[in-house]
Amino acid sequence: MHKTSIRLATAGLALTLLGTTAWAAPANASALPAVPPSAPGLHEIAGYPRQNVLPVWPDNPADASIPIGVIPYDEIAPKLNALQAASDRVSARVAGRSSGGHDLYAVVVTAPESRKEARQQEEWKRLIEEDPVRARTDRKLLAGYKTPLFVNANIHGNEWEGTDAALRVIEEYATSTDPEVATLLERNRLIVNVTANPTGRIAGTRANANGYDLNRDLTIVSQPETNLIRELTIDTKPIITLDLHGYVNPTLLHPSTPPHNVNNEYDLFIKHALPNALGIERDLRALGHPETQRARIPFRDDAPGVWDDFPPIYVPSFALLQSSIPYTIEAPLNPRGANLTPEERLRRSAINTDVHEVAIKSSLQYIQDNRAQVLFDQAEVYRRGWAGEPLRDIPDDFVPGWGPEDNYNTVFPRAYVIPTGPGQRSEPAAARLVDLLIGSGGRVWKAKKSFRADGRSYPAGSYVVDLHQPKRGLVNSLLEPGIDLTDRVDDLYAGPAAWSQGLTWGATVDTLWDKKLPTVQLTRVYDGVAQGTLPPASADLRLDIQDAADLLVVNSLVRKGLRVYRSADGSVVVPSTPGSRKLLQEAVRTHGVTFERAPARWQGTPVGEIVVGYLGGVEQRDTLAALGFEAQAVTAATLAGTLTDEVDVLLVSSNLNVAALTPENRAALDAFLARGGGVVGLGTAGANFGNATSLLSVTATAGPSLASGVANVVNRGGPVSTDASPYTFISQPVWFTDLGAGVTVEQSYAADPLLAGWWATSGANGQSAAANQASIVRSVSPGGNGVVLFGSNPTFRLHPKGLQPQLGRALLWAAQP
């Protein structure tokens, strides 16, 4: 077990007030608005309730919620409409649309507020982040601010009951005449994302309609449902965040095991997270169900790595970096399964609903009982960020069970610079990264003039990310390389063990360790802008493919009839032709890509319209779409009908047993290869396919399934890896040895492969075995097929955007080697 038994009453945990060092914005920053222009101005703030008649969806008897005994999706809007009609405490709106086209409902439950009162609440909420010292000494704020609690329900579609519990609480609070409820709503706001995954709820699937686990997407934000969760978390600034799930028996609730994200002010979290968890456990026991007599609290009950809060991809770990006290709540009883009677399904879902209701009410009560301290500590996170203070060393037994295995921390740099101009690998990638930082609650500035820092020169317009800012932990978590976890844990709940958008999203990012910011005037910005470059007319133009945006442009130009040529180094050349200028201007304006004059005696292979058949899943499908390729799904059972004459390249990312194909499907595969079809393979599946079809000969070795993170690589040059980053992203890394005749190494793992993450150092699957071995190889088969194999993972959850251009280059080359 991770922890010794803990007996701790909520009141028994000392809550210590800390110092009140003042904060300051960057000294060289120009006068700035306190909030982004996209946030509503105070004059636009309306009072509460803010009620809307929600559109009602048609009755759907096939809704998977019905057999479970929970509310079907089509009954949610009518229920909320009725509650709004009956009560001035309830405000509901359609806050977005899911990937499946269903309405996403956001609800606020609170006592009515006039416009003046609502504006005052907004001013106080902003003040907590902008001037935390002033906020936590403001008597009126401390007495009158409505502390928020955010409930995110049903993020996994087939974990239903959080929605029902939230609706139960909304209805009770809307209609209750209890004076204690009235007082609760006068001092709090309850914000509810009623069903974060409505399409999954209806279908009974964990994933959304696009096929993604939304609780792995908070720092990628590839899905509309995740965008809303992020927006609600940032905009409402909740004291406590509850993410309601199922099914783990007994009920599981945070805090989590180590490893802990190194960027959190963990002392300010765990001092509240543990006592509130114990309070929830106490209240669950009071339900009287045999199944709720004990909770599982990973911090207390589990070994390191079993249920960690390390990567910020989850709702709770993302919310923690926003200065919220977050929880995953896993209800105990799985109501799915063909062997359950209808009565047992209903019994289980009823208990699960009770569990989630308790979590909501107990957490609201914790805020009530500890109001002054939780407000102080939320502001303290922001104060430390503004002041640039180091993370605290947390002593053993800071809370019962805290030990050396829990201590994770980092040293914050002074700032990061995301350059523009010649020092930037990709302007679109830089703009995307800036958008992610700002959209996630971070702050970014732009230099008004050129400057020097740490011995490097930067042009005007370069982005400066000052880490003396309130959410520095969130920003640093996205930009820093990460840490090597290998020697500290031997398990993780789910990877990746390192992510670093700063190193894997394709932009050049420099770290400044000097204690002072560069001496240049800075202006805060609220979005990233890729200006792009187009040299004067009448010149042949070169485009170095360093981002998905570059591939989008290439594929678009080809479809519009322009001649495009691929050079030996993987870049492309667009000859100057009548009418091409307008199309190139449009490409630069739309995508921010950078063209330059082509060399005087350039040579290249014509690029045609390329159709990619993919043997894989949604990640491959959507990566190909991001690169602008026409794609069609292929499976072992459908080769005869899908691997048609127009397919130029086959992307293999899942296993295909060539020997087991039916004669008809084998004939389709043979015909594709006979006409010179290219192959790009990912991982061992790609290598196995290449060997089975005699396209090339390699031995592929996979690292442990837990191995993931950021790896050091050496680029050998060629159409795939020229000018690529020296870092790659891995998830169960693969390397290639015993290379047959004609196999060329484009990229290899460095002598010290792992920069950050987890990967066993020794053994047949460890780093020592992969050191200096190939991570990307290419070959031309005797029949003329271009083949590229990747040991890295360029499609993982749509995360490693810096690897997407490598995949695109490989597809271009494999189509016409």
pLDDT digits (tens, 9 = 90+) for 315-332: 999 999 999 999 999 999
Which residues lie closer than 8 Å to 789 by C-beta, 6 or more apart?
A: 680, 681, 682, 686, 687, 690, 696, 698, 700, 736, 776, 777, 778
Q: For position 628, what pLDDT does the model report?
A: 98
pLDDT of residue 1: 39
Q: Rounded to 5, what percent of the chain is helix, strand, coil?
A: 35, 20, 45
**If pLDDT is split at 50, 70 and 90, which confidence band does 18 have?**
very low
Confidence grade of residue 8 (pLDDT, cut at 50, 70, 90): very low
What average pLDDT does the segment 440-466 reach? Answer: 97
**pLDDT tens sequence across 707-758:** 999 999 999 999 999 999 999 999 999 999 999 999 999 999 999 999 999 9
Contact yes or no for 728/757 (Cβ under 8 A): no
pLDDT band at 399 (very low <50, low <70, confident <90, very high): very high
Burial class (CB in 10 A: 0-12, 13-18, 19+), 739: middle
Phi, psi of 582 (to 5 degrees): -65, -40
What is the model's pLDDT at position 16? Answer: 34
Beta strands in 531-597, from DSSP E residues, in sequence order: 541-543, 565-566, 572-574, 595-597
Q: Which pLDDT does position 4 carry in this prediction?
A: 36
Contact 611, 630 (CB under 8 A): yes
Q: What is the mean pLDDT of the chain?
A: 95
Q: Does residue 32 carry a pLDDT above 50?
A: no
Q: What is the pLDDT at residue 349?
A: 98
| pLDDT for position 43 | 82
Q: Average pLDDT in the 770-791 region?
A: 98
d(C-alpha 29, C-alpha 31), whole Å: 7
pLDDT at 17: 31
Q: Please provide residue 271's backbone torsions phi and psi, each rounded to the nearest 5 degrees.
A: -65, -25
Residues pairing with 309 in the sheet = 260
Mean pLDDT value of segment 34-53: 81
Q: In the numeric block, which tokens belong to residue 763?
A: 């053994």
Amino acid 21: pLDDT:
35
- Please check the confidence at residue 23 and state whether its pLDDT lies above 80: no
- Residue with token string 């995949």: 807
Stronger pLDDT, 329 or 36, i.e. the higher one: 329
Task: Summarize pLDDT for 208-262 with one digit per residue, the tens.
Answer: 999 999 999 999 999 999 999 999 999 999 999 999 999 999 999 999 999 999 9
| Mean pLDDT value across residues 125-145 | 97
Structure confidence at residue 27 (pLDDT)? 61
Return the higher-pLDDT residue of 199 and 23. 199
Mean pLDDT of 282-300: 98
| Segment 780-792 mean pLDDT | 98
What contacts 462, CB < 8 A, 6 or more positions away?
A: 417, 418, 419, 420, 421, 446, 447, 451
For residues 344-359, give the mean pLDDT: 98
Q: Mean pLDDT throughout 468-482?
A: 98
* Proportion of the chain above pLDDT 70, given as a percent: 95
Residue 370 clears pLDDT 60, i.e. is over it: yes
Query: Are the beta carbons of 237 and 125 closer than 8 angstroms?
Result: yes
Whether 433 shows a pLDDT value over 90: the answer reads yes
Cα separation, 236 vs 239, in Å, equals: 9
Q: Given this model, what pLDDT does residue 6 score?
A: 35
Query: Three-class SS of residue 428?
Result: helix
Res 338: pLDDT = 87
Per-residue pLDDT tens over the stretch 610-621: 999 999 999 999
pTM of the predicted structure, to 2 decimals: 0.95
Q: Please, which residues bridge with residue 29 across strands?
A: 522
* Average pLDDT score over residue span 646-655: 98
| Look-up of token digits 């709720």 | 292
Sign for the pseudo-dihedral over CA of 136, 137, 141, 144:
positive
| 416 pLDDT above the threshold of 70 | yes
CA 742 to chain centre: 39
Report the SS3 class of residue 696.
coil
Distance of alpha carbon 51 from alpha carbon 82, whole angstroms: 11
Helix or strand or coil: residue 776?
A: strand
Nearest C-alpha neighbor of 275 from the set 9, 73, 460: 9
Pairing of strands 708-715, 744-758: antiparallel
pLDDT of residue 38: 56
Task: Identify the weakest region by mean pLDDT among 16-20, 142-146, 267-271.
Answer: 16-20
Q: Is the pLDDT of residue 19 over 80?
A: no
